[in-house]
Amino acid sequence: MTILFVGIDLAKNVFAVHGVDGHGKAVLIRPSVQRSKLHELVASLPVCTIGMEACSGAHHWARLFKQHGHTVRLMAPKFVSPYRMSGVRGKNDAADAAAICEAVQRPNMLWRVNLDARGATIWMRTVSRRVDDAAHLIVVGGDSRWRLVVARFARSTLAKSSCSRTCLHE
């Protein structure tokens, strides 16, 4: 049977992958996939729906997986935790991947918006303008050089931080 849904628990170096077929039977169980091998593994899979918890690197992986025709859905970790099986297995990467795979199959799950490069740029410009406005309000009454320094510091700090849009849709 072909793989229809895949859940991936993202981490820094080692990822867990769990895939099921149309009957819900686990077909692909990889509790330990190296970072360098994840892209190859997903590229070799038939076109399917991939679920991941939304985190700082999830948008990057989503863009890579979409290039191979996969449908990628990002979800908040708080929506995944009810599907995690507790007990003997406990909380580990493989259990999280299985829970993500189970959650991605639910039709009424709330998904995070996947930002492509252009959408992320537009969002960053909007946030940057808001930071500039906030910096201006903070230092009202100060001289213009101080205002410029604060605005540039806020913008550079925001650009270095991880970009994750928080609007949800179905």
Q: What is the pLDDT of residues 84-143, one digit of tens each?
A: 876 656 778 888 999 999 999 988 777 665 656 666 666 667 766 766 666 555 555 555
Mean pLDDT on 9-21:
92
**Per-residue DSSP letter, 11:** -
Per-residue pLDDT, 167: 38
Q: What is the Cα–Cα distance from 58 to 50, expressed in whole angstroms?
A: 11
Q: What is the pLDDT of residues 33-87, one digit of tens each?
A: 999 999 999 999 999 999 999 887 888 899 899 999 999 999 988 888 888 876 6
* Residue 150 confidence (pLDDT) above 70: no
Asked if residue 112 lies in contact with residue 75, where contact means CB atoms within 8 angstroms, the answer is: yes
Q: What is the Cα–Cα distance from 62 to 162, expressed in whole angstroms?
A: 15
Best-predicted range by mean pLDDT (54-58, 142-146, 160-164): 54-58
pTM of the model: 0.65
Per-residue pLDDT, 47: 94
Q: What is the Cα–Cα distance from 96 to 160, expressed in whole angstroms?
A: 28
Q: What is the Cα–Cα distance from 72 to 49, expressed in whole angstroms?
A: 6
Q: Give me the residue label for tokens 């991605």.
A: 104
Domains and CATH numbers, the chain: 5-112 (3.30.420.140), 117-169 (no CATH)
